[in-house]
Amino acid sequence: VQVAFYDATNPDAREFVWSRVKENYLDPYGIKAFWLDACEPELKPGFQENLRYWAGPGLEVGNMYPAENARTFYEGMLAAGESDVVTLNRSAWAGSQRYGAALWSGDIGTDFATLRRQIAAGLNTALSGIPWWNTDIGGFHGGDPDDPAYREVMVRWFQFGALSPLMRLHGFRDPGMPLGPEMTGGPNEVWSYGEEAGAILESYLRLRERLKPYVLKVMRQAHEEGLPVMRPLFLEFPGDERAWQVADAYLFGPDLLVAPVLEPGATTWTTYLPAGARWKDAWTGETYEGGASVTVDAPLDRIPLFLRDGAELPIAG
């Protein structure tokens, strides 16, 4: 299926596209938040060298496209008198954050290997200056809610999602329907995964809600100071050489170390705690001196979490 797209680097094109959005969405229905899917753009065939944008040759300026597309909506909303602008974007580029762009990691797979890659994606995005980032919890392509193996993926991913900058459950679950106007994916609500998994998912929704004041605090810090919500360990502990090597854990704000479980069947998990702080297991209260790896219990309903230097957060309720 071929698609058409506009030149988002052209101010006249941005103005025209926004005029249509305003006339058909904002003005009649008051719709103020927009999901900007396929904003790379989704070229078919995907040869940037064939393109000439208003801003220059495709190979030189093509990566600007998602940021300029977000700019269309940001500037349009401001001109319409709206000061709070947010868009959900499948792609971004340097500076997208100035246009209220929240980035997600795209249409990804539904297994543990893909979940592991989301940590690197989130941390690199954060270090690129884009603090508002998230994934399709559970992945996008497939995943059967009746499959016990996939239920485990969903639970572990949901735990990670509850401790991501933005928390959003989305995906095209099995059994899906053939491509067409009526197509839809299978059930994907938290109650779609059976009684045991559903209870765990509910508990992490409640955890996210309890953490809301802390999340808002670190989001405000991201806005005012540029410090990301999701932080590699070395950002807070640059003097610890081992902290620079940790790729499977991160800090959620300054006070909470998150070590997602990334393997099927795991009931314990090992993670490194940076030197220069004392760390308390948020579930058990046991304390550890930083600078060493620790192994903790990680049954299906528990993601390893550690509080820094006496920080108090309502983890266990």
In a domain, 314, yes or no: no
Same domain, yes or no: 28 and 102: yes
Same domain, yes or no: 245 and 158: no
CATH number reported for the structural domain that contains residue 43 in this entry: 3.20.20.80
Q: What is the pLDDT of residue 90?
A: 97
In a domain, 222, yes or no: no
The model's pLDDT over 257-314, given as tens digits with 9 standing for 90+, comes to 999 999 999 999 999 999 999 999 999 999 999 999 999 999 999 999 999 999 999 9
Same domain, yes or no: 135 and 237: no
Q: What is the pLDDT of residue 182?
A: 87
> 183 or 275: whose pLDDT is higher?
275
The residue annotated as part of the active site, out of 12, 15, 27, 37, is 37
Query: 3-class SS at 251?
Result: strand
Q: What's the pTM value of the predicted model, to 2 decimals?
A: 0.95
The model's pLDDT over 126-176, given as tens digits with 9 standing for 90+, comes to 999 999 999 999 999 999 999 999 999 999 999 999 999 999 999 999 988
Same domain, yes or no: 153 and 286: no
Looking at 212, 246, 281, the residue that finishes a domain is 212
Cα distance between the two ends of the chain: 50
In a domain, 220, yes or no: no
Query: Which helix (H) or strand (E) segment is 57 a member of?
Result: strand 56-57
The model's pLDDT over 89-109, given as tens digits with 9 standing for 90+, comes to 999 999 999 999 999 999 999
In a domain, 2, yes or no: no
Same domain, yes or no: 22 and 138: yes
DSSP one-letter string for 94-145: TTGGGGTEEEE--S---SHHHHHHHHHHHHHHHHTT---EE--BT-SB---T
Looking at 177, 212, 247, the residue that finishes a domain is 212
Query: Known catalytic residue: 174?
Result: no
In a domain, 297, yes or no: yes
Query: 68 is written with which tokens?
Result: 């300029």
Same domain, yes or no: 186 and 253: no
**Average pLDDT in the chain:** 96
The residue annotated as part of the active site, out of 7, 60, 75, 107, is 107
In a domain, 315, yes or no: no
Same domain, yes or no: 204 and 293: no
Whether the CB-CB separation of 304 and 261 falls below 8 Å is answered with yes
Query: 3-class SS at 281?
Result: strand
Average pLDDT over residues 212-216: 98
The model's pLDDT over 31-74, given as tens digits with 9 standing for 90+, comes to 999 999 999 988 877 788 889 999 999 999 999 999 999 999 99
Q: What is the pLDDT of residue 67?
A: 98
In a domain, 219, yes or no: no
Residue 206 to residues 162, 201, 209, 257, Cα–Cα distance (Å): 9, 9, 5, 19
Query: Known catalytic residue: 37?
Result: yes
What distance in Å separates the CA atoms of residue 69 and residue 34, rounded to the nearest whole number? 12
Q: What is the pLDDT of residue 47?
A: 83
Same domain, yes or no: 175 and 286: no
Looking at 164, 180, 212, the residue that finishes a domain is 212
Residue 219 to residues 130, 150, 216, 225, 227, Cα–Cα distance (Å): 12, 31, 5, 10, 9
Whether residue 7 is predicted with pLDDT greater than 90 in this model: the reply is: yes
Same domain, yes or no: 171 and 31: yes
Q: What is the pLDDT of residue 2?
A: 64
**Residue 248: partners with Cβ closer than 8 Å, 6 or more residues away:** 116, 119, 259, 260, 262, 271
Average pLDDT over residues 218-243: 97
Same domain, yes or no: 205 and 147: yes
What distance in Å separates the CA atoms of residue 125 and residue 116, rounded to the nearest whole number? 15
Whether the CB-CB separation of 102 and 95 falls below 8 Å is answered with no
Same domain, yes or no: 138 and 236: no
The residue annotated as part of the active site, out of 7, 40, 68, 236, is 40
Whether residue 184 is predicted with pLDDT greater than 90 in this model: the reply is: no
Same domain, yes or no: 149 and 197: yes
Q: Name the domain count of the chain.
A: 2
Query: 283 is written with which tokens?
Result: 């579930």
Domain extent, residue 256, equals 227-308
CATH number reported for the structural domain that contains residue 294 in this entry: 2.60.40.1180
